[in-house]
Structure 1
Amino acid sequence: MNVRCGSRKSSTITQLMHVFTHHPSWQALGQVALLFGVIWWMYSGYVWLTNEVAPNSSTRRTWLLVGMFAFFVLAMAIQDAFHGTGIAFGVGYVLVTAVHTALFASAGGVSATIAIKRIAPLNALAAVLVLAGGFVHDWAQYLCWGLAFAVQVVSPYLVDTRDFVIRASHFCERHGLVVIVAIGESIVAIGTGLAGEKITPQLIATVALGLCLAYVLWWAYFGVDDERGEHALAAIPDRERSRPAVHAYGYSLYPLLIGIVVTAAGIQMNIAHGNEAASVAAAAALSGGVSLYFVGQFFFRWTLQLPRPWARLLAAGAVAATIPIGIYWVSWAQLAAIVTVAYVAVIADDLVTLRAGQHGTYI
């Protein structure tokens, strides 16, 4: 399942990045947020599914393959979902939701079956709204998909989800996999932005800064937080685990992953023009994406009561302050400032962790 989940999420991240870079604007950001929001909710739903229903039979693997195909249809339809492929997006989403509900209801344990019967009507309502959005245009489409996302966001508060079984190790590992894949896409964005460009020392230096930024984003989450998050979730009693799991790995990772998408778009728009001033949209995407990533980490730490959530909020503000550097000077200087600020923030946080006698897998 690692390869399957990674592949479908990889293509999704790439297509979302293209939505923003094609016409960088607040409208494009809103489109990315809506499209990724409804997809992210059901991807996370499949993590809950495989947490309970192991793919250990031919029937289950076949249905998961159908679900994977439906996610692939979603990914293919993303780029023009607001301009012509909305119906395909809606049909794919309905199929994703149907497979998820059917597998949960038929193959889950007694408690999971009870839980999915409670939440399935809300998932179905969201799927119908997504499908309806494919048949309309302009404000009506935004309304349908916005309502679908809203239904998903509030659904854990409308039903009792305590009957879902959360196995912390599998649950955290699958969500962490998405973060890794998304960061990998930011590296792909570097290569995409260099197509046809002449190799110069300045370009090589800018590429090095872009790779450093991808690394520091990985380090910020996987240096300590990934492992500590798993331990914190595992320490919560089984019947009380579902709500913190939704908050930390559903709500909190949403802005974090949107941040990676926007950062990747900013890198792609800036990487080949590092010695020039950036447009407002490109500079805001580059710094704003990293800031959003740190905001997501703030909520992740705060939700699981991990140490120093405020440190990530300070990092977010410091990174956002680098936007004028790209607009009024040059792109490479903004990128260098972001890398410096992010490194200082992460290293300082790690030093405090070590002095407290704690450590993670990578520190």
Structure 2
Amino acid sequence: MFFDLVFVFAITQISHFLLAHFTVQGLLQSAILMLAVWWVWVYTSWITNWLDPEQTAVRLMLFALMALGLLLSTSIPKAFESRGLAFGLAFAAMQVGRTAFFTYSVPASQAKLKTSFLRILLWLSASGALWIAGGLLHGAAQLGLWLTALLIEYVGPVARFWVPRLGASSTTDWSVEGGHMAERCALFIIIALGESIVVTGTTFAEIDWTVTTMSSFAVALLGSIAMWWIYFHIGVHVGAERISHSSDPGRLARLAYTYLHLPIVAGIVVTAVGDELLLAHPDGHGDVKATFGMIGGPLLFLFGVLLFKQSVHGRWQLSHLAGIAALVLLTPFGGLLSPLLLAAAATAILLVVGAWEAISLGVGDRSPIE
């Protein structure tokens, strides 16, 4: 958890970056930053599945990652301007350095695991060179190199890190402890929700307290509570149990926790942007930015949770599907309703989804579609 504190700051930086750069290019840049921050965190979670954090060498490695993580986080506001090289160097150092440390630490008796991480090290070294090269450039060249680096990073697990002459890893080589991965990802969800609450509290403290602003504060807080309920009431426990009893936990962890948690976290970050806009301008008519934050955030979150829950217990949650449909139907009204009414409607949908799921599972529905 001490290591995770760095990422509280990183998530805050990304939400502020998105708010300050709300253009098509800014959205793409924000997505790159979000994908990078999530990837460096989730890779560390995989590594700590095997390492003993009580050992001094492991602790020193994590402290080094924290220092690099702070450099990465502080570079985010100007990552596409004057601090691109700092961001690229910090990211590459975290990915390559951590993997090299683990590859060296794996005993020779665990040959398959050692070879698996040698493959990963080669892939991350290739992408790391692109992160550093992109940091030296600006504009389209930087975007192109960093997008290519991300493509290498994200395709790697799917390709099982195939390397000429070394072949590909097997997901059975990535044996993970179910409770560890579920707990780690749940903590990151808490980090993201905590950032949303911090944004809400900070903004509310700086504005005049009126009936409208207090109503906006209540709506924003209820939205965070609804997201917490939707994720934690059912999914987190089922995921831990399913991974623990899976014949191929590495494959399930790769899908459910490595990839499918990304839209969940991104949805919370986008919602935090919407909450800040709501508290700053609750009256009048909404605009594209407000609609994106207040509807797009919950929509992305709910879509991610739907896919995550389907992956761990094979059900398409009807409550989640209905919530997604309702949010899509609400989107055209984004420019007609005030930000307060728009956010209240989106929050109400999330609350209904959470209540629907809790009630339906409480009565023992076990059909393929909830």
TM-score when scaled to structure 2? 0.91
| Cα separation, 1, equivalents of 2:94 and 2:318 | 37
| Cα separation, 2, equivalents of 1:314 and 1:34 | 30
Per-residue displacement from partner, 1:71-128 (whole Å, max 9, x unpaired)? Answer: 1111111111111111000111122023311221122351432220122111111211
| Structure 1, gaps ≥5 residues long | 359-363
SS across alignment from 2:206? coil
Aligned to 1:14: 12
Tell me if structure 1 keeps the 8 A contact 2:172–2:249: yes
Matching of residue 117 in structure 1 with residue 118 in structure 2? yes
Q: Which range is displaced more, 303-312 or 108-117?
A: 303-312
Shift of 1:234: 1.1
Task: Name the aligned partner's letter for residue 107 of structure 1.
Answer: S
Aligned to 2:281: 273
Matching of residue 303 in structure 1 with residue 279 in structure 2? no
Task: Name the aligned partner's letter for residue 108 of structure 1.
Answer: V
| Structure 2, gaps ≥5 residues long | 161-168
- 1:195-234 residue pairs with structure 2 within 5 A? 196-234=206-244
Aligned to 2:157: 156
Tell me if structure 1 keeps the 8 A contact 2:100–2:121: no
Matching of residue 260 in structure 1 with residue 258 in structure 2? no
Per-residue displacement from partner, 1:36-67 (whole Å, max 9, x unpaired)? Answer: 11221121110011110111222221111001
- Residue identity over aligned pairs, in percent, reads 27
| Cα separation, 2, equivalents of 1:71 and 1:170 | 22
Q: 2:189 aligns with which of 179, 204, 210?
A: 179
SS across alignment from 2:284? coil
SS across alignment from 2:78? coil
Aligned residues: 354
Shift of 1:191: 2.4
| Cα separation, 2, equivalents of 1:58 and 1:339 | 46
Per-residue displacement from partner, 1:191-215 (whole Å, max 9, x unpaired)? Answer: 2333532111221111011100000
Aligned to 1:245: 253
| Cα separation, 1, equivalents of 2:217 and 2:158 | 45
| Cα separation, 1, equivalents of 2:172 and 2:134 | 32
Tell me if structure 2 keeps the 8 A contact 1:263–1:290: yes
Task: Name the aligned partner's letter for residue 87 of structure 1.
Answer: L
Task: Name the aligned partner's letter for residue 220 of structure 1.
Answer: I
Shift of 1:326: 4.1
- CA-based RMSD: 1.6
| Cα separation, 1, equivalents of 2:24 and 2:236 | 31
Aligned to 1:361: none
TM-score when scaled to structure 1? 0.93
Higher relative contact order (CA 8 A, sep 6+): 1
